[in-house]
Amino acid sequence: DIVLTQSPGTLSLFPGERATLSCRASQSLTRTSLAWYQQKPGRAPRLLIYGVSSRAAGISDRFSGSGSGTDFTLTINRLEAEDYAVYYCQQYGSSPLSFGGGTKVEIK
Amino acid sequence: EVQLLESGGGLVQPGGSLRLSCEASGFTSSSFGMSWVRQAPGKGLEWLSSISNSGGSTYYADSVTGRFTISRDNSKNTLFLEMNNLRVEDTAVYYCAKDRSWYGSGSFLDSWGQGTLVTVS
């Protein structure tokens, strides 16, 4: 099974700053089969990024994904109030599907 | 607009059973795989099960294999999760989600329901 480790656990940033979130896989992903989700308190997750770097419909271009092999990054440029949330990575190239433990982006 | 509406959650005793439903609208549900994901209180996301568009292929996490059964009724645009022998650690919000692909294995989840809370106590 592929284990995804996200870091840091919490990221404290001012509005306008850049957030860099990491997701490391225990094995190399054989395809570009990595997605990122955003979840706000009391809400369902929302797809942000799929295929490592493709933005989902309606997602701001301030969100970008990159990486390959075992190391992946979600970057959020110019943080806005609506971006403060928990972010999860997910791999879907290998069964069972798995999620990382999440990174909380909080207002500093 | 894709909409997924879960129902069937509630309070159940350990060892009991519950059946969750997820009604889909706004897309041709018979063309896509569907999945269930849960989130224990204050914890992260855990994939549980997926099913292909026809229902012919199903996939389960080890934690629920043999206890949970995923199924679908495409004539009613509804996804189900039958949960038996429930444990305290099954307490969570259960989300249904739409796969991007049809085959029910190896997909990201591009739409989610609002979730239904299952409490085992």
Arithmetic mean of pLDDT over chain B: 97
What the block records as the tokens of B63 is 């934690």
pLDDT beyond 90 at B106: no
Instruction: Report chain A residues whose CB lies below 8 A from the CB of B108.
Output: 33, 35, 47, 50, 90, 92
Residue B105's pLDDT is 83
Which of A37, A44, A98 is facing B114, going by the closest CB pair? A44
Instruction: Report chain A residues whose CB lies below 8 A from the CB of B107.
Output: 92
Residue A41's pLDDT is 96
Beta carbon pairs, A and B, within 8 Å:
59
What the block records as the tokens of A30 is 């054989």
pLDDT beyond 90 at B91: yes
pLDDT beyond 80 at B9: yes
Which of A50, A98, A101 is facing B108, going by the closest CB pair? A50
Mean pLDDT of B22-49: 97
Q: Return per-residue pLDDT of chain A as tens, 108 residues.
A: 999 999 999 999 999 999 999 999 999 997 899 999 999 999 999 999 999 999 999 999 999 999 999 999 999 999 999 999 999 999 999 989 999 999 999 999
Three-state secondary-structure class, residue A82: helix
A25 Cβ neighbours under 8 A, 6+ residues apart? A2, A3, A4, A5, A34, A69, A70, A71, A72, A91
pLDDT beyond 80 at B26: yes
CA distance A101 to A4: 7
Q: To which residue do tokens 């509804």 refer?
A: B78
Mean pLDDT of B97-120: 94
Q: Which amino acid is at B68?
A: F
Q: To which residue do tokens 């798995």 refer?
A: A98
Q: What is the pLDDT of residues A30-41, one digit of tens each?
A: 789 999 999 999
CA distance B37 to A87: 16
Please, which pLDDT band fits residue B61 given cuts at 50, 70 and 90? very high
Q: Distance (Å) from the C-alpha of residue A79 to the closest C-alpha of chain B?
A: 23
Instruction: Report chain B residues whose CB lies below 8 A from the CB of A101.
Output: 44
Question: Please, are residues B36 and B102 in contact by the beta-carbon 8 Å criterion?
Answer: no
CA dihedral A91, A94, A95, A97 (to 10 degrees): 0
CA distance B40 to B92: 4
**Higher local confidence (pLDDT), B106 or B73:** B73
Which of B45, B50, B107 is facing A88, going by the closest CB pair? B45
Residue among B1, B21, B7 at smallest CA distance from B110? B1
CA distance B110 to B29: 13
pLDDT beyond 90 at B94: yes
Three-state secondary-structure class, residue B75: helix
